Structure 1
């Protein structure tokens, strides 16, 4: 509302800063809450919701932004934020958080609310016992590590030789790398400059219509991810996603080079739109949603606070740098060269996933931590 009703630069910057802080908090808490309330069998599908809602917002801004005045576009966005705040009063607290506070009865009630419409027909005892073991281990770890000088549940302890292969260190390196590679793949630079990209490509379709079409494609593919994220697994989708993204950007780069060299590309002027749509499809089924909920799946409970805070901060810093560098890269090496760089970085991401990222599909938190090197 503040941003929409003012043309003062200082006020606009303040409003954007507050929006950024709010988005950062949501990026930390939403995946964690999902991981703590979700059944292992559908944790991946529920984890997609966070990224799905982002695509809904992007689609709305793409479509409404072409016709609505700036003020009304901001008012409509503020309405959804207020609605979300109201709905939060009607959902339960995380059972894991309640158990950490020794509120076992409230945790059982929360699980009944979350697991069944007919709450009296659900017996939460088995799940409570599993969560209680996790919580008890977390409490023991926090107590024991608080009296040691090297604490892998803190940032300084992660970078010691002793803890280099521990579950906290492994999860930290994996998630940090995934989120940074996610940004280096060019998704936000391409999203922010979509209109300019289509203008330069010389597409006969209106750049604003093309942008709206891409927003719709991204939304539909993220929605489709519900169907197979818990069937195909995280690693498979990440590998498929990064490889296809790299191939699509290489194709866009080739189109650009041919145009610069003077070849007639009139018959394939539609190619950048199609390849960019395929790029967004590939992103939406893999590197879009999966790193966010894998962050909650991999990180040990006792380290979730600082790990998520650090990696999300680095993620937004990488986003800022990539989007700021994009115009300069286009000027210095051309749009074709820029797309080629992003394409190569997506292949680097595929290699990293193949070599370093574990599969978490259908596994409990305990099983994941055992595989990362922890002991229960």
Structure 2
């Protein structure tokens, strides 16, 4: 059945009010006289009763239809609005064949759908927030307890020789660095997930960003005798527009992940080259790679595999999540896979042209 406009419904009601009394008048006259000729009637009492009955019937039909098509949907929207005000988003609004009411109903349903999506997103954010707090609190305990234990050992003189004292100090520095990395990752993750704004736009040499990341992690790589090979198509081809600070943080996380999961005497290959309107970059390590169970969850916050790529490597579980978020904010994408020759492959791309400036993360 097609919808009708309110003016059409009003016109139909007016026609019905005019037509029904006359129809009933004619029917009553025919019943009384067995003829449609009005001149044969001695009186019009029966006919007038029929006309009044037709008028009353028309009012009844119009009232029923107004109740069904106008009043009931409006009452439903009123009840739904009170339910929404009380926090109940599971509402139902009756259908209406009146176009204006149907349009309002569609708008109301769109609003309810938007509220439901917003509520679900808010619940997800709240659950993530609780999960992050609980997980970070758990991760903070281990290095804190170790740091306290070694500091107590130094204070109580357990480390009697200079070599033991140096070892205790070295462990304390390592644990403090782990705490610093965890807190910094948590801070960056919080900014990327919950702070809205525009990313700053500046000319960025991605090759230089990757080289600085390599240089900053080279001392750690040298301790494990890891070889880092940088392959690129020249710095002139690796220029983009973006937030240099955040991009450097993203690349640092990728390099840090590769160094931590590459075994001694391993190799890391860093690539950066241009492909049409995209800038492709990748980091490949010679570790055991990701397991099939881990791959779908690599970029989930605080997810760490239970076997080769786990908490023992010292990661916070936020590094890859932060990197993917930063790359996506710049209009690109970051994906994880295993290289055909073995090892983990983290590959992404960034658009050559400037990105959408609607989501800024203030530093």
Q: TM-score range by the shorter chain?
A: under 0.3
Task: Report the TM-score when normalising by structure 1.
Answer: 0.22
Higher share in helix: 1
More strand by share: 2
Higher relative contact order (CA 8 A, sep 6+): 1
Indicate the structure (1 or 2) with the bigger Cα radius of gyration. Answer: 2
